[in-house]
Chains A and B, each alone.
Chain A
């Protein structure tokens, strides 16, 4: 996003304080967001147990996990809405627990449910948030720019009550952008949107990177894959992976799977595929594409069978009408990560029990 005056324009009330904050924030060696050994306990249940991660300035990071994993809790602590039982979290070098007022000035937050007042018009609401955040950017220009960016111009005089879910979500996003904060936190920003809106929101978030540090939580894998540079995977209040998006799949050693649609006599094709070097397993799947049968081919990790399969089919005159690699996608990686974490956990528990004996 091109919020031009951005970083150098003062958006806060007290200039001296602001400068101090900005200086720490622009210190490139320090990470923009630092979470250290964060624990959040509700009675006996741990919503978060010992979470630590760092996010550099300008990064777009996805917080990924199943429902109830602790994503929202982490975000709520980072924004100062909740307090932590133990540990520390700082934004731009300012601790959110010790100096919440100054830390909050650096953050724009879109909670899971957009915090909009149904009895206000879009313009009234944005103006209210502008005042609430003590923003000092030129009011009309700044709000206009934001309305442009999130495409709210045509509904600006309508009551939020009468807006659709998609528009309300956009108002929520607009609200988070007011004051041009250094850190923007989105909790499940695309929930309840239609496919076109989802794409728009993703593009918007991607465009925020570089200038803003963005954290985004989701349980949709395609989303992080499309938008984020790095993924932090949380399950049961623990971090089970913290990797660059493109490396996450490689983290887990696994057999590769391919799905082929090939026209030809089923049994011969199957036998042919099984004879290809490196293929561990092959089966016919139930889907058919016209006269083509679909085959699932499994190979060991690191083996490349596709060229050999192509040559085989070319020799025999079978047409390959479809081919896709599966298994390397985040869906399965994620399930594996969660499983792996669960098994190590239960192994650990067993180990401790045995040790006690």
Chain B
């Protein structure tokens, strides 16, 4: 598992994808930060974090699209699946590698918040809660991306599919208000990643939301393992 993790990490930076991801991530994060706080002469960070969340819909697929699809296409997965490594180990290694890069970028992007703190009295609690919320949502997104990547051997299909599913997870909240049937609205609301994120923006550590994001991540990781398990039987 450690071997696969190490290989994934080096692979991000021996192929352009790691650099492209870091560059785009930091550019978007920086631009949004400047536009929503510095130029607006405000230390309200809610808008910045909300926009970033939407940007994840485009950024996360960059990170995950090739995780499994590439291995399947080049048949290198045969090496991994015939080596004494468990499926869970293999999936976790890829997940952790994507998480490492993601958290790293998020950390670099968050440096901008110190600028804000230098010149104004930011609400530290709110900012920390928001960052934690972003990380949790990002983690859930990454597992969705990995899952879709395991479904296909086409990287482009994996990326587009991931964008679609992630958008659906976010847009549920906005579509929801037009639905008149209560129970449908209730169920959809339960699935919404967006509405739960709002609590973090207010500075609340919503345990239910934390548990929700962790569960989503666990479910999609489990499904990814199951896909590999099932493929052996087909």
Interface pair A79/B10, CB less than 8 Å apart: no
Within 8 A of A (CB), among B56-104: 74-86
Whether A324 sits at the interface, judged by CB under 8 Å, is: no
Report which residue of A104, A109, A112, A117 has the largest number of chain B beta carbons within 10 angstroms of its beta carbon.
A117
Known contacts A42-B234, A128-B3: A113-B82 contact under CB 8 Å:
no
CA separation between A221 and B69, bound complex, in Å? 36
Q: Does B226 contact A (CB under 8 A)?
A: no
Q: Is the CB of A115 within 8 A of B74?
A: yes
B75–A113 contact, CB under 8 A? yes
Question: Residue on B with the closest CB to A101?
Answer: B84
Instruction: Judge whether A285 is part of the interface by a CB distance below 8 angstroms.
Output: no
Tell yes or no: A131 within 8 A of B by CB. yes
Which residues of B have CB within 8 Å of A335? Answer: none
The verdict on A119 contacting B3 (CB below 8 Å), with A42-B234, A80-B81 known, is: no
Q: Tell whether B178 is near chain A: CB-to-CB under 8 Å.
A: no
Q: Which of A180-223 contact B (CB under 8 A)?
A: none
Among A82, A113, A128, the residue within 8 A (CB) of B7 is: A128
Instruction: Assess whether B82 is in contact with A81, with CB atoms less than 8 Å apart.
Output: yes
Contacts of A12 in B (CB 8 A): 84
| Residues in B neighbouring A129, C-beta threshold 8 A | 79, 83
From residue A135, how far is it (CB to closest CB) to chain B in Å?
10
Identify which of B2, B79, B86, B232 contacts A115 (C-beta below 8 A). B79
Q: How far is the CA of A107 from the CA of B81 in the complex (A)?
A: 12
Q: Report how far A133 CA is from B4 CA in the complex, Å.
A: 11
Most buried by A among B3, B83, B234: B83
Tell me the B residues contacting A by CB distance below 8 Å.
Answer: 2-4, 6-7, 10-11, 14-15, 74-86, 232-234
Residues of chain A contacted by B15 (CB below 8 angstroms): 119
Among A42, A107, A111, chain B packs the most CB atoms within 10 A around the CB of A111
B56: min CB distance to chain A, Å: 26
Query: Which residue on chain A has the smallest CB distance to residue B233?
Result: A83
Say yes or no: B86 contacts A116, CB within 8 Å. no
Minimum CB–CB distance for A97 against chain B, Å: 10
- Give chain A residues whose Cβ lies under 8 Å from the Cβ of B81: 80-81
Interface size for chain A: under 10, 10 to 19, 20 to 34, or 35 or more residues?
20 to 34
Contact between chains at A117 and B76 (CB < 8 Å): yes
Q: Nearest-CB distance from B1 to chain A (Å)?
A: 9
- Which A residues touch B234, using CB under 8 A? 42
Q: Is A105 in the interface zone, CB < 8 Å from B?
A: yes
Enumerate chain B residues within 8 angstroms of A118, measured Cβ to Cβ: 74
- CB-based contact B79/A175 at 8 Å: yes
Indicate if the CB atoms of B82 and A80 lie closer than 8 Å: yes
Q: Is the Cβ of B2 less than 8 Å from the Cβ of A131?
A: yes
A117 touching B74, Cβ below 8 Å: yes
**Chain A proximity of B224: nearest CB distance (Å):** 17
CB distance from B57 to the nearest CB of A (A): 27
Q: List 11 A-B contacts (CB under 8 A).
A: A12-B84, A80-B81, A102-B84, A113-B75, A117-B11, A117-B76, A118-B74, A129-B83, A132-B83, A132-B85, A134-B84
Residues of B within 8 A of A128 (CB): 3, 6-7
User: Is B84 in contact with A133, judged by CB distance below 8 angstroms?
Assistant: yes
| CB-CB nearest in chain B for A125 | B7
Closest CB in chain A relative to B65 CB, distance in Å = 16
Selected contact of A104 from candidates B7, B14, B75, B83, CB within 8 Å:
B83
Give chain B residues whose Cβ lies under 8 Å from the Cβ of A36.
none
Besides A79-B82, A80-B81, A128-B3, 12 new A-B residue pairs in contact (Cβ under 8 A), listed by A number: A81-B81, A102-B84, A104-B84, A107-B82, A109-B78, A111-B75, A115-B77, A115-B79, A124-B10, A129-B83, A132-B3, A132-B4
* Contact of A120 with B by CB under 8 A: yes
Task: Find out whether the CB atom of A131 lies under 8 angstroms from the CB atom of B6.
Answer: yes
A120 touches B78 (CB 8 A): no
Q: CA of A195 to CA of B80 in the docked complex: distance in angstroms?
A: 31
Residue of B nearest to A43 (CB): B234
Cα A131 to Cα B78 in complex, Å, equals 16
Q: Once the chains bind, are A116 and B76 in contact (CB under 8 Å)?
A: yes
CA distance A116 to B78 in the complex (A): 10
Q: Are A133 and B232 in contact (CB under 8 A)?
A: no
The docked-state distance in angstroms from the alpha carbon of A105 to that of B80 is 12
Contacts of B77 in A (CB 8 A): 115
**A100, B125: Cα distance in complex, Å:** 49
In the complex, chain B residues whose CB is within 8 Å of the CB of A116? 74, 76
* Nearest-Cβ distance from residue A319 to partner chain B, whole angstroms: 56
Interchain CA distance A120-B15 in the complex, whole Å: 10
Task: Decide if A120 touches B14 in the complex (CB within 8 Å).
Answer: yes
**Residue among B6, B78, B79, B232 with the highest chain A CB neighbour number at 10 A:** B79
Contact among B4, B74, B78, B85 with A81 in the assembled complex (CB-CB below 8 Å): B78
Residues from chain B with Cβ under 8 Å of A81 in the complex: 78, 81-82, 232
Contact of A109 (CB < 8 Å), options: B74, B82, B85:
B82
> Is there an interface contact between A101 and B86, defined as CB atoms closer than 8 Å?
yes
> Looking at the complex, which one of B14, B75, B80, B232 makes contact with A132 (CB distance below 8 Å)?
B80
Task: Give B24 Cβ to nearest chain A Cβ, in Å.
Answer: 20
Complexed CA–CA distance, A111 and B76 (Å): 9
**Interface membership of chain A positions 55-99, coded 1 if the CB is closer than 8 angstroms to chain B and 0 otherwise:** 000000000000000000000100111110100000000000000
